[in-house]
A and B are shown apart, each in its own frame.
Chain A
Amino acid sequence: MIENKPTFRKINDEEKEIVSFSIMNSFYDEAFGILRNYAFWIKDGKIREVFVVPITSDKILEKLPKTAYFAGIPFGSLWKSDFQLEIEGSKLLAPFSKKVIHVTTDQFLYGKPIFVENIGEITDEFRKGDTLIVFGRSNLHYGIGQAEIDSTEISAAKSNTVIIKGHKKRPLDRGWYLREGD
């Protein structure tokens, strides 16, 4: 057995509150309905990784706190008191998202920004700092990002104004899977 590895543990109340608050801000209440089928687990380490695990796997995972490397869905990560929803968390909750943006380019999948000229459709108004779920052509899920401007500014903005920054080193767009090397 390998010792001194990050351990898997159940989420504590404080962490759960941070995660729930973040979800509440960006998703409709129904998101909590789907999450009732899962238990929240934390993998401690430099970053605390948040996993949602089907409740049917809970008992088995409880037996493997030292050896589990991964379980269920990699939902997001906790950085001090901030929660960052990541690719698969955003995919799971996408149907309940308050803010969705459709883009006409694949550039976001390469960790690059989304510009005003790349926007296909916006379902709702958004404000700077809002969490946006990004979809591409054929309604394919591309990832998640944070708005850099208000949606009301778009019509007057230059075509190369950034709407969402790219993050090559963080698992926010689905191109991450290629960059990570699968």
Chain B
Amino acid sequence: MESTDNTLDVYELGNNLGYLNYMIERFVEMIGEEETVDLLKYNEKKLSKTIRLNSLRSPFERTKALLKKKGVVLRNIEYLPEGIEIIESDIPIGATPEYLNGYYILQGKNSMYPSKILNPKEGEVIGDLTAAPGGKTTHLAQLMNNKGNIIALEISANRCRSLKSNLARMGVINTIVVQIDLRDVCNLELEFDKILLDAPCSGSGIIASDPTRKNSKNLSDINNHHNYQVELLKKSVKALKEKGEIVYCTCSLEPEENEQVISEVIKESNLKLVEIGKLGEPALEQFLDQKFHPDLIKARRLYPHKTSGEGFFIAKMVKK
């Protein structure tokens, strides 16, 4: 793409916005120049605030009515009955008495999908293996109507505290928080019906909310994340029951943290990728010189500029 009066070359644009050059090269490889410009521009926008209504505490309509009464302008999110976009608010939405009563939680729109895709059922034993601060854990509990058991893992005491705070506030009662390293999950001697692994990642899908990511990570950081994610996924699979299901997700757009992790683990494990609907777009079949497992087209990529939310990668697998 050439510079014109109105249009900057994508690399020049990336440079002006503070990105490391390698990131732009990779975005272009993934989605092409035109879309990379859209992505970079989108990342400069302030993400709209979204909340998830909590049926464990209050019926959706009551919460909406209470917020409207306070002058908050709301918009429903398509296909997410519990998701609401805050269009306008003169009050601090994260400090209202309704918030303190757990009627809702501040949660990014796209981060509501992994729990829904896992589809936990009442009575099941669910592992939320990287649980803090608890947005997805409380969502899982809501989807289970507080029945069954969620085992939420978190190694950091500080993060356990924020997890505890959110679970209590949101009226979750079916969760046990366990303070251990995820890599020790098998020592718990529990077998999970389903597992949510929201793996720690480099966060290149959430630059709109964390602009430091434009220049804070290099390729070696991404490779380190990859190695860690592979280890976590392998350990998680071991703790899964036969025919159990696992959702792996990250808020990174890097193929090394997503398609490559799944490709690597799936060839050594009894895992089978399953369809998760038409959300976003199919995962990559290849990146640079790397070809991924053919079933990876069943996993989905949610690009920020195309979904108006955080960037996500989501894959669901069944243990054969």
Contact = CB atoms under 8 A, between A and B. Distances in A.
Contacts of A177: 100, 165-166, 168-169
B188 interface: yes
A9 to B, nearest CB: 14
B179 A67 contact: yes
A182 B169 contact: yes
Given A109-B97, A142-B97, A182 B162 contact: yes
Nearest to A140: B97
Interface in B168-213: 168-169, 171, 173-180, 184, 187-190
Contact of A174 (B163, B169, B184, B188): B169
Contacts of A88: 168, 171
A175 B96 CA distance: 9
B147 to A, nearest CB: 7
A64 B100 contact: no
B139 to A, nearest CB: 15
Contact of A70 (B66, B98, B176, B180): B176
A180 B161 contact: yes
B296 interface: no
B239 interface: no
A70 B165 CA distance: 10
Given A1-B180, A70-B160, A57 B174 contact: yes
Main secondary structure of the interface of A (DSSP, over half): mixed
Nearest to A110: B95
A136 B99 CA distance: 13
A2 interface: yes
A140 B168 CA distance: 16
Interface residues of B, number: 39
A56 B150 CA distance: 11
Nearest to A5: B179
Contacts of B176: 53, 57, 60-61, 64, 68, 70-72
A28 interface: no
Interface string A64-101: 10011111111000000000000110010000000000
A69 B160 contact: yes
A138 interface: yes
Contact of B100 (A1, A57, A178): A178
Given A69-B179, A87-B168, A174-B169, A181 B101 contact: no
A136 B125 contact: no
Contacts of B133: 182
B151 interface: yes
Nearest to B62: A138
B273 interface: no
Nearest to B167: A70
A63 interface: yes
Interface of B: 66, 69, 95, 97-98, 100-101, 125, 133, 147-149, 151, 154, 157, 160-169, 171, 173-180, 184, 187-190
Given A56-B174, A109-B100, A137-B97, 14 more contacts: A1-B184, A5-B179, A56-B147, A56-B148, A56-B149, A57-B174, A69-B160, A69-B179, A70-B176, A136-B97, A142-B97, A174-B101, A178-B95, A182-B133
10 contacts: A54-B173, A57-B176, A60-B190, A68-B177, A70-B167, A74-B168, A137-B97, A142-B97, A182-B165, A182-B169
A-B residue pairs, 4 tightest by C-beta: A174-B100, A70-B177, A69-B179, A182-B165
